[in-house]
Amino acid sequence: MKNKRKLIIVSALSLGLVFSACGNDQSKEDKTSNEASQKVEKSNNTTTNESSKTDENDKKDDTYSQVSLSDWNGNWNSMYEYLEEPDIQPAYSTLAENEGVDENKAKEDYLAKRKADFAGLIVDEDKVTFLDNFPEKDGKTIGEGTYKFFKTEEQMLGEHKITWNIFEATNEDAPYKYLTLMKIDPNEDLLHFHFRYGDDLDEILDKEDWFPTVVSPQTTNEQLIDEITE
């Protein structure tokens, strides 16, 4: 009878150990499974993030590849050359009122804002010709350069974001190493674009109050006055 009881106790203990071992094994399996799932999920997230970054880079590359100097093709007159015309002078009185300064200062500041060292531009694909007069007035060439797209730079102008499309000269005798151009807005009444130029890109971009502008040869005085007083 005692032997039978011992046998029952031993059997019970053995079964307990077996169940305990099974439970531990199952716990290990669950832990391993969870860790594997977490690794897969982390891997998927990493892949998704990398894919997203790649897509963003591809979009940027596509944007850059779409920028071509030929977008500015044509004959252009420097707006600065119009600003002393008698018919334009009343615009400075309105500008002074808008800015709360006297008329002389308003005119002086505006001329400085539009100042350019050439009177005309001819853009033909990747070639830019700088002239001493308007193209339609047989302006003489004072410099030529071939330019390739370099990069796009965004800046904040007050509350507005502006984008410069930057081109770098490919010929050593180009009069300016860099041209920075803003896109032509086809929806505006005055066909024009703002630009900057020079040999030091940082210096060009830092001139916050300097926006030389060229306009279509068909520009009227009324359009110029509207541009000055807007």
At which residue do the structure tokens 């094994």 appear? 25
Q: Is residue 211 within 8 Å of residue 194, measured between CB atoms?
A: yes
Bridge partners of 74, per DSSP, are 123
**CATH top-level class of 69-228:** mainly beta
**Start-end of H helices in 67-102:** 90-99
Average pLDDT over residues 219-227: 98
Grade residue 157 by pLDDT with cuts at 50, 70 and 90. Answer: confident
Average pLDDT over residues 131-138: 98
Predicted local confidence at residue 104, as pLDDT: 97
pLDDT of 112 above 80: yes
Grade residue 187 by pLDDT with cuts at 50, 70 and 90. Answer: confident
Could you read off the pLDDT of 31-84 as tens digits, one per residue? 444 554 554 455 455 444 554 444 444 444 454 557 999 999 999 999 999 999
Please provide the average confidence, as pLDDT, over all residues in the chain: 83
Angle formed by the axes of helices 103-114 and 90-99, nearest 10°:
100
Give SS3 for 123.
strand
25/30 Cα distance (integer angstroms): 9
DSSP-derived pairing of the beta strands 74-78 and 141-157: unpaired
pLDDT of 108 above 90: yes
Element (H, E) at 179: strand 178-181
Residues written for the chain: 230
∠ at Cα 150 (146, 153), nearest 5°?
A: 130
pLDDT of 93 above 60: yes
Q: Which of residues 121 and 9 earns the better pLDDT score?
A: 121
Domains of the chain, by residue range, sit at 69-228
Q: What percent of the chain has pLDDT over 70?
A: 72
Bridge partners of 153, per DSSP, are 164
Element (H, E) at 196: strand 192-198
Predicted local confidence at residue 114, as pLDDT: 98
Q: What percent of the chain has pLDDT over 90?
A: 68
Average pLDDT over residues 147-158: 94
